[in-house]
Amino acid sequence: MYTDVLLATDGSGTAREATDHAIALASAHDATLHAVYVVETRTAYDNAIVDPETVRENLRQEGEAATEAVRAAAGPDLEVVTEIRTGVPHEELLAYVREAGIDLIVMGSTGRSTMKTVLLGSTAAAVVEDADVPVVLVGEAESADAEPAVED
């Protein structure tokens, strides 16, 4: 059913949860897993004393670590393609979907961005809104000792 699965990763907790799901889906369908990390062109430091290029280079290195962690988690039997792009995350992810012939997107429901929409990360919301292929959103698993939101 699926031949090319895109995993959008940013190294966050939800991205790590999404990695497990993406690996399972790609394995079950004998699909290629594409791990994509996007370095945002605008950062929270663009107007700060910190050099934005230094921040972007640090993010690129973080992206390399995140995509290689996906490759390691997938193991030797799953074909994994890694890609680091620069730009607006949802735009770059959707461009990659078109370019690579992706037929399923897996991503965390929220990432590490400091600006989130109320219930859904802004990148995830934009991808869901504009994607022409199915999107699987994965939330971060609750810890075993977390209090339930509603009691029985």
What letter represents residue 80's amino acid? V
Q: What is the pLDDT of residue 151?
A: 46
Summarised one tens digit per residue, pLDDT across range 121-134 is 688 999 999 999 99
Distance between CA 95 and CA 28 in Å, rounded?
25
pLDDT interval class at 43 (50, 70, 90): low
pLDDT interval class at 148 (50, 70, 90): very low
Domains of the chain: 4-138 (3.40.50.620)
Residues with Cβ < 8 Å from 119, sequence gap 6 or more?
none
Distance between CA 5 and CA 151 in Å, rounded?
37
Instruction: Say if CB 85 and CB 17 are below 8 A apart.
Output: no
Residues with Cβ < 8 Å from 37, sequence gap 6 or more?
8, 9, 10, 11, 62, 63, 64, 66, 67, 82, 83, 84, 85
Say whether pLDDT at 21 is over 90: yes
Distance between CA 51 and CA 46 in Å, rounded?
8
- Starting at the earlier edge strand, list the strands of the sheet with 135-138: 80-87, 32-40, 4-8, 104-108, 135-138
Crossing angle between the packed helical segments 122-130 and 89-100, to the nearest 10 degrees: 40
Alpha helical stretches, state H, 2-141? 13-28, 52-74, 89-100, 122-130
